[in-house]
Amino acid sequence: MSLRLAAVAEAVGGHVVGDPDREVRAIDTLEAAGEDDLSFLTHARYRSRAEGCRARALLVGPDVELPGKDLVVADDPALALARVIALFHPRRRRPAGLHPTAVIEEGAAVDATASVGAYAVVGAGSRVGPGAEIHPGVIIGRDCRIGTGATLHAHTVLYDGTEVGDNTIVHAGAVLGADGFGYASHGGVHHKVPQVGRVVIGDDVEIGANSAIDRATLGETRVGDGTKIDNLVQVGHNVQLGKGCILCGQAGIAGSARLGNYVVLGGQAGSAGHLEIGDGVQVAAKSAVLQGVEAGRKVAGIPAVDLRQWRRQVIAAARGRDQDRRLDALERAVEALEAAAEEE
């Protein structure tokens, strides 16, 4: 397909500097784009690459000048890029209907506009909403709810009672509603605590491949609207996630922790259970949150402390290692002098 730059600018709420009638056939990276493609510059550090890019048209932010290039200028080029990619690569919807091998148990209801793929199972009492896509091999337990336009990719598993909101995307291999990790230890034996709650996922959530969100012991494990969860993330039983949170790969949240709105956990960051992390908190990668964190703070380290304090700790540790090396050298010098004195 091809699009005029004027149409691209209209789609992203921007404007054209140069020829609005130039047609572009695809969107590609600065390195791979050809003359008839549209490329993009979303960060100033890549300006030299943009100048040498073969593409004759680029998507850029305000106040960017690239002589010899036609530009689509947008206030937020990263957001505009997402919209342009969607223009050139519109989502392919699966056709509505039930695959002949799909299993729809008695009492389940699948909307006529939804799609259920090969060997998928929809358990008794479950509801699949309008336009939802259930890909091959998905297992939906009993009494689940799948919202309008939701997508469950291949081999996703929803245990009984799980609820998935409108336009939410769950990627392959994710498991929602497995038993929480709860045991009562007595007399050297770990006795299983029945996990009889459920998982509720809000609207416009995205859950990465092979992530797990455990059902509550009692009540609900809840993920707020607009939250985005990367691959291989563990969310424990009774966790409450607010709206718009970001959980990066291999992050883990122990049971009954409460995270506010727009909290960010970096890759492999973890939170202990039964604590509160306030709105807007950012936790650096590989950090361990062991006590509550007030809203708006940035923390890092093990245990996690204020980001500025952690930086001072890192500097002090580096200086300490240097001092240790100098002390070792002094000790060796003293030993050499003492040995020489004994020989005299």
Residues 291 and 150 in one domain: yes
Average pLDDT over residues 157-164: 99
298 with 325, same domain: the answer is: no
Which of 34, 57, 88 marks a domain boundary?
88
What's the gap between Cα 101 and its chain centre?
Answer: 33
Give catalytic residue positions: 237
CB atoms within 10 A of CB 94: 16
Q: Which of 105, 119, 137 is nearest to 128 (CA)?
A: 105
Which residue bears the tokens 């050139």?
Answer: 88
- If asked whether residues 66 and 142 sit together in one domain, one would say no
pLDDT computed for residue 236 by the predictor = 98
Structure tokens at 183: 């045991």
Instruction: Indicate the pLDDT class of residue 337, thresholds 50, 70 and 90.
Output: confident
Residues 323 and 253 in one domain: no
Measure the CA–CA gap between 223 and 236, rounded to whole angstroms: 11
Q: Give the pLDDT band of residue 118 (cuts 50, 70, 90).
A: very high
Helix (H) or strand (E) holding 86: helix 77-88
- Distance, in Å, from the CA atom of 156 to the CA atom of 117, rounded to the nearest integer, reads 12
Shared domain check, 340 and 283:
no
* Model pLDDT for residues 135-154, shown as the tens digit of each residue: 999 999 999 999 999 999 99
CB burial class (10 A; 0-12, 13-18, 19+) of residue 141? Answer: buried
Q: For residue 273, give Cα distances in angstroms to 21, 142, 184, 280.
A: 57, 29, 16, 19
Per-residue pLDDT band for 320 (boundaries 50, 70, 90) equals low
Looking at the fold, whether 64 and 107 belong to one and the same domain comes out as: no
215 band by pLDDT with thresholds 50, 70 and 90:
very high
Strands 212-213 and 139-140 turn out to be: unpaired
Nearest-angstrom CA–CA distance, 294 and 201: 25
Which region holds residue 309: left if phi is over 0, alpha if psi is between -120 and 50, else beta?
alpha
Beta-strand ranges (E) seen in 179-248 are 183-186, 189-192, 198-201, 206-207, 212-213, 220-223, 228-229, 234-235, 240-241, 246-247
pLDDT, tens digit (0-9, with 9 covering 90-100), for 67-93: 999 999 999 999 999 999 999 999 888
Domain limit, last residue, from 40, 63, 88: 88
Same domain, 249 and 110: yes
Q: How many domains does the chain have?
A: 3
Mean of pLDDT over the chain: 95
pTM of the model: 0.89
Question: Do 143 and 231 fall within a single domain?
Answer: yes
| 179: pLDDT strictly greater than 70 | yes
Task: Say which residue the tokens 């936790």 belong to.
Answer: 283
For residues 51 and 126, membership in a common domain is answered with no
- Going by their DSSP bridges, the two strands 212-213 and 234-235 should be labelled as parallel
pLDDT over 70 percentage in the chain: 98
CATH number where 129 lies: 2.160.10.10
pLDDT at 344: 66
Q: Is the pLDDT of residue 196 over 90?
A: yes
33 with 161, same domain? no
CATH number for the domain spanning 78: value is 3.40.1390.10
Question: Does 206 share its domain with 132?
Answer: yes
The answer to whether residues 240 and 327 belong to one domain is: no
Residue ranges making up the domain that contains 321? 308-344
Spatial distance between the Cα atoms of 53 and 210, rounded to a whole number of angstroms: 37
Q: How, if at all, do strands 15-17 and 3-4 pair?
A: unpaired
Measured CA distances, 38 to 13, 55, 137 (Å): 17, 6, 38
Cα–Cα distance measured from residue 164 to residue 145, given in angstroms and rounded to the nearest whole number:
6
